[in-house]
Structure 1
Amino acid sequence: MHLGRSIALLIGASVLVSACSTTSASPSKDTSSAPARAETTSALPAESSPGVRAKLSAADLQGRWWTWAASSVNDSNPVSDQDGRLCAQGQTAGIWFLAGTFGETVTRSCTVPTAVPVAFPLVNQIGETGDCTAFMATARGSANLDGRSLKPERYEATAVHISAVDGNPITQNGGRFRTRACGLWVQLEPLAPGSHTLSIRGSSGSFAVSVDYKLQVSAG
């Protein structure tokens, strides 16, 4: 995860993540009642067929992930998690998020519920449109699930709304904010019950994310 000038940032993977460096700029609270308008589109998987779930849009996915990342203070924040004990922190129904780091290299062990889609960034940022343009110019990343390479989707600057709590490491202050989000993202269909390994690598400029997940998908 990485933060732009308009909002105090950290990020990545997940995650988890999605990975961030910190800046000191203050966010502006959103005073508009108009819904966020994505500047990019999110298509269904190329191999989509009956029974395959539609992916979240670029705006919905990123807005929800950043809200999740900003819903906990630093000591209990999943982006700060060193071993996986915070994987379930702040998760909501319908999708399971994984986080990157604030630049550290970590290994996490997590239990993931069955029948729930999984999503995470390889590297990502929030800020102004110019911040995203510069960030995405050098954004690179890879993800590997059980020895299989995953193809990330590339989201350029997208208008999103983020809700945050006071003391979180993303916006620092609580409230509802309107900003732009961008990054490299993966959305997965629900994982089969059992054990899985996931490696996430991402970078932009001098910032880099490296997370290895050991995932246990519960059967119930």
Structure 2
Amino acid sequence: MNGGIGRAGLVGMMLAALVGCGGGASGDSDGSAKAKAKAGVGARTTAAASESPVASASQDRLSSDVLQSRWWTWAASEPEATNPVADEDGRECGRNQPKDVWFLAGTFGTRAERTCTVPGGVPLAFPLVNLVADPADCAEFMSAAEGSAVLDGEETDAETSRGETISVDGVAGNPVTGTGERFTATGCGLWVQLPPLRSGKHTLEIRGRSQDFSVAVDYALTVESA
């Protein structure tokens, strides 16, 4: 679910979520849940430097396991009514954002058009399609995973995470993991990290797919002056 685990269990124990969010999780040794959602680890734009929409300041990228742990925890931090993955128009995009990175979400398998204001000087991170499950499920999921992110008409590069151990916290009743408990599982997916964008208007088109799950989100971003 570029996602996230599932609508209150991305898939009954399969959950789907955006920006890439897709994920599933295991709470303990007796049970597991799987999810697909749209939000690895690094990406760079292919635009020429003189025309790049990205600010010149360099930013250290998050490691893949840290990125996935933090993104899934963010995606699971709100109940459905205010959840950024379930958001249809972008009004919830600022919920619980950390200060050092701005996360974007995918959907639970639907298409969305979102308008979002982003603070200046902050890097962006999101999945094209992703999953939280066990190693075998991630291997199967990633064998068919594909996606793209187009920023201001220029396609970016995404990195692939085929399976890393991550830890996720959520609030009770959230539609991404369906649980308020902390759990450890395997995270995988196609991920993009962008350095801070230049102030002004930007467009971002996110597409992701694996097996029978797909994500499509169009963002109209306004980046504030740093």
The answer, yes or no, to whether TM exceeds 0.5 is yes
State the distance in 2 between where 1:43 and 1:144 align.
Answer: 15
Name the amino acid aligned to 1:75: A
Q: Which residue does 1:218 correspond to in 2?
A: 224
Q: For residue 6 of structure 1, report the CA deviation from its aligned partner.
A: 9.7
Aligned pair count reads: 201
Identity percentage of aligned residues: 44
* Alpha-carbon displacement from aligned partner over 1:80-99 (angstroms, at most 9, x marks no partner): 00000000011111000000
Give me the TM-score of the superposition, normalised by structure 1. 0.84
Look up the match of 2:26: 27
Give the distance between the partners of 1:11 and 1:72, measured in 2 at CA.
13
Q: 1:132 aligns with which of 129, 138, 150?
A: 138
Q: Aligned AA for 1:80?
A: A
Alpha-carbon distance in 1 for matches of 2:187, 2:107: 17
Q: Which amino acid aligns with 1:74?
A: E
Cα RMSD (Å): 2.6
TM-score by length of 2: 0.81
Residue 206 (structure 2) pairs with residue 203 (structure 1): no
Unaligned stretches of 5+ residues in structure 1 = 31-40
Q: What's the counterpart of residue 54 of structure 1?
A: 60
Q: Contact conserved, 1:154 with 1:185, CA < 8 A, in 2?
A: yes
C-alpha distance in 1 between matches for 2:41 and 2:61: 7
1:11 to 14, 17, 27: 17
Asked whether the 8 Å contact 2:44–2:193 carries over to 1, the reply is no
1:33-112 alignment, distance < 5 Å: 52-112=58-118
Q: Deviations over 1:165-191 (max 9, x none)?
A: 100112212021101100000000001
Match of 2:123 in 1: 117
Instruction: Return the letter of the residue paired with 1:175.
Output: E
Q: Which of 154, 157, 173 is residue 160 of structure 2 equivalent to?
A: 154
Deviating beyond 4 angstroms after TM superposition, the runs of 4 or more aligned structure 1 residues are: 4-8, 41-47
